[in-house]
A and B are shown apart, each in its own frame.
Chain A
Amino acid sequence: MAQEKRILIVDDDPDYAAAIEKILKTADYSVSLAGDVKSGMEQIEKEMPGLILLDVMMEKYDDGFNMCYDLKHDDRYKDIPIIIITAVTEVTGLKFNPKTDGEYLEADDYVQKPISADLLLEKVRRFI
């Protein structure tokens, strides 16, 4: 049975996005894709997604970071759950767990590329 709300994937790597999309569609989610922050925001304004999978590093290294911050500080969108996807953690120095020291994104969860289908779906199911 298809979920009502969509999952929006914002990632500039079309291959990675396609692979994740396949996993999600196989589990009966409806998915839309955006290749950068701008088209991501356009999609969100057009139709509120039920969950956003957001790549931290796109064209500029802190693109995803900034988009996450903007969404979480916007009354219209702050309640949309965001899962951060990242290929790099230690180099950018971004920590995602609010319990550890240092900066943290106000994201709801994070996944590291690559991720097993089971783990991804487990995390997604918590939100949608």
Chain B
Amino acid sequence: MASKERILVIDDEEVIRDSCTQALAKVGYVVKSAENADKGLELLQSFDPGIVLVDLKMPGKSGIEVLEEIQAIDPNIIKIVITGFATVSSAIDAMKKGAYDFIPKPFTPEEIRVIVARGLERRQLLLESEALRLEQERTRKNMISLVSHEFRAPLAATIQYLEVILGGMAGDISSEAKEMIERCDIRLREMLELLGRWISLAIFDADKLSENFKDINLKDLASESIDVLKSMAEEKNISLILDSPEDLPTIKGNKVSIGEVFNNLISNGIKYNKEGGWVKISLSEADGYISVTVSDNGMGIDNEHLSKIFDEFYRVDGRRNAPVKGSGLGLSIVKKMVNAHGGTIDLESEIGKGSVFKIDFPKVFESDNSDKKEEDR
């Protein structure tokens, strides 16, 4: 016996509307109908059906357009098309636009009941898998929160104690002990930083980020980042140069993420550079894009690494005693963040000469930009 599922019928013929309603109400479904696409879509919002039966050929807005609109509103609503001439091509077209199945006129009451029942089974599956996906996501995020706290708290407490000891606040220690404790401090701080980056990567949610995009000024963010890293650069006598027009248009994005992108690239430019070198940030406007280039005259990166440089955990020099320590996570986060803004990032580099990171941000953000871009590459 069918439960009180809600079915919506959109068809310009009264005969079809009535026969569907009768056939389906008979087995307990709640049925409403509309005589055209606009009335049907309006009713959809208030009635909230699980299944919609749509006539392909109607005057005014076509059944195909209705399919597209319903798909955009809620892909979990099952769409079944009613077609007068069951040509293969129109059925296929409908399926491509998200129809689950089609039924050719004329049809018997039993036929419509069977196809609706099948449609409801599919809906059940879709709803269950969506619920599972959301549950999984929530669990993953909870676990990450939990893990992050469980790891960070003891690390923080340990480093804090070392701070007290090294600060001479717990009595004298031998110079030998001091050296070892300093090494402990350095190693633990590296671990804390790595943990922080790993967590950033793990909780990064591009969709959630783009839901809250606001207008951001890339020039301002670049100069803020330069301010933050000024002292780090001064330690190695490295100049940080900003080259940007005054009136660069804003783009839609997330301030914190773009800030992190700049921080990451500029600090890399400082870290992998020699005394007295430079790091230059150039911004420019192109047709449809804003280009950001972060270049330096530092160590450079060998060709063999370039294709993998944005991979998670990839490190150019993975030795434990490497002269410059990197977690291998920074650039993978940068890439994710750039992609989440619909942008692309590329690297050109030459050993001993320096590196150039080039980012292009689209002036207008479209949420499926990044997928398209990645496929094109």
Is there contact, CB below 8 Å, between A113 and B148? no
Q: Among B153, B164, B200, B203, point to the contact of A87 (Cβ < 8 A).
A: B153
Is there contact, CB below 8 Å, between B163 and A117? yes
Give the docked Cα–Cα distance between A23 and B162 (Å): 11
Give the docked Cα–Cα distance between A40 and B250 (Å): 47
Interface residues of A in 93-128 (CB under 8 A from B): 100-101, 113-117
Q: Among B156, B203, B214, point to the contact of A113 (Cβ < 8 A).
A: B156
Is there contact, CB below 8 Å, between B169 and A23? yes
Is there contact, CB below 8 Å, between B153 and A116? no
Number of interface residues of A (CB under 8 A): 23
Is there contact, CB below 8 Å, between B144 and A91? yes
Is there contact, CB below 8 Å, between A91 and B145? yes
- Residues of A within 8 Å of B149, CB to CB, are 57, 61, 87-88, 91
- Residues of A within 8 Å of B177, CB to CB, are none
- Residues of A within 8 Å of B152, CB to CB, are 87-88, 113
Q: Which of A13, A91, A113 has the most CB of B within 10 A?
A: A91
- Residues of B within 8 Å of A16, CB to CB, are 153, 156-157, 160
User: B164 → chain A, closest Cβ, in Å?
Assistant: 5
Contact with B along A68-90 (1 / 0, CB 8 A): 00000000000000000001101
- Residues of A within 8 Å of B145, CB to CB, are 61, 88, 91-92
- Main SS class of interface, A: loop
Interface residues of A in 12-57 (CB under 8 A from B): 13, 15-16, 18-20, 22-23, 26, 57
User: B233 → chain A, closest Cβ, in Å?
Assistant: 21
Interface residues of B in 296-347 (CB under 8 A from A): none
Give the docked Cα–Cα distance between A20 and B159 (Å): 11
Is there contact, CB below 8 Å, between B160 and A20? yes
Given known A22-B169, A101-B214, A114-B163, contact A91–B157 (CB-CB < 8 A):
no
Contact with B along A59-71 (1 / 0, CB 8 A): 0010000000000
Is there contact, CB below 8 Å, between B144 and A87? no
Give the docked Cα–Cα distance between A90 and B161 (Å): 24
- Residues of A within 8 Å of B156, CB to CB, are 13, 16, 87, 113-114
Which residue of chain A is the closest to B188 with respect to CB atoms?
Answer: A114
- Residues of A within 8 Å of B255, CB to CB, are 100-101
- B199 CB–A CB distance under 8 Å: yes
Give the docked Cα–Cα distance between A90 and B333 (Å): 14
- B170 CB–A CB distance under 8 Å: yes
Give the docked Cα–Cα distance between A113 and B196 (Å): 12
Contact with A along B73-91 (1 / 0, CB 8 A): 0000000000000000000
- B167 CB–A CB distance under 8 Å: yes
Which residue of chain A is the closest to B254 with respect to CB atoms?
Answer: A101
- Residues of B within 8 Å of A19, CB to CB, are 157, 160-161, 163-164
Is there contact, CB below 8 Å, between A13 and B203? no
Give the docked Cα–Cα distance between A113 and B154 (Å): 10
Give the docked Cα–Cα distance between A23 and B203 (Å): 34
Give the docked Cα–Cα distance between A16 and B192 (Å): 15
- Residues of A within 8 Å of B169, CB to CB, are 22-23, 26, 117
User: A11 → chain B, closest Cβ, in Å?
Assistant: 10
Is there contact, CB below 8 Å, between B148 and A88? yes
Q: Among B144, B148, B155, B170, point to the contact of A22 (Cβ < 8 A).
A: B170
Q: Among B148, B163, B200, B203, point to the contact of A116 (Cβ < 8 A).
A: B163
- Residues of A within 8 Å of B159, CB to CB, are 114
- Residues of B within 8 Å of A116, CB to CB, are 163
Q: Among A13, A23, A90, A100, point to the contact of B167 (Cβ < 8 A).
A: A23
User: B210 → chain A, closest Cβ, in Å?
Assistant: 15
Give the docked Cα–Cα distance between A114 and B170 (Å): 17
- Residues of A within 8 Å of B158, CB to CB, are 15
Is there contact, CB below 8 Å, between B164 and A13? no
- Residues of A within 8 Å of B160, CB to CB, are 15-16, 19-20, 113-115
User: A53 → chain B, closest Cβ, in Å?
Assistant: 12
- Please report A residues at the B interface, Cβ cutoff 8 Å: 13, 15-16, 18-20, 22-23, 26, 57, 61, 87-88, 90-92, 100-101, 113-117
Shortest Cβ-Cβ A-B pairs, 7 listed: A113-B156, A19-B160, A114-B159, A15-B157, A87-B152, A16-B157, A114-B160
10 interchain pairs (CB within 8 A)? Answer: A19-B161, A20-B160, A23-B169, A90-B200, A91-B144, A101-B255, A113-B156, A114-B156, A114-B160, A115-B160
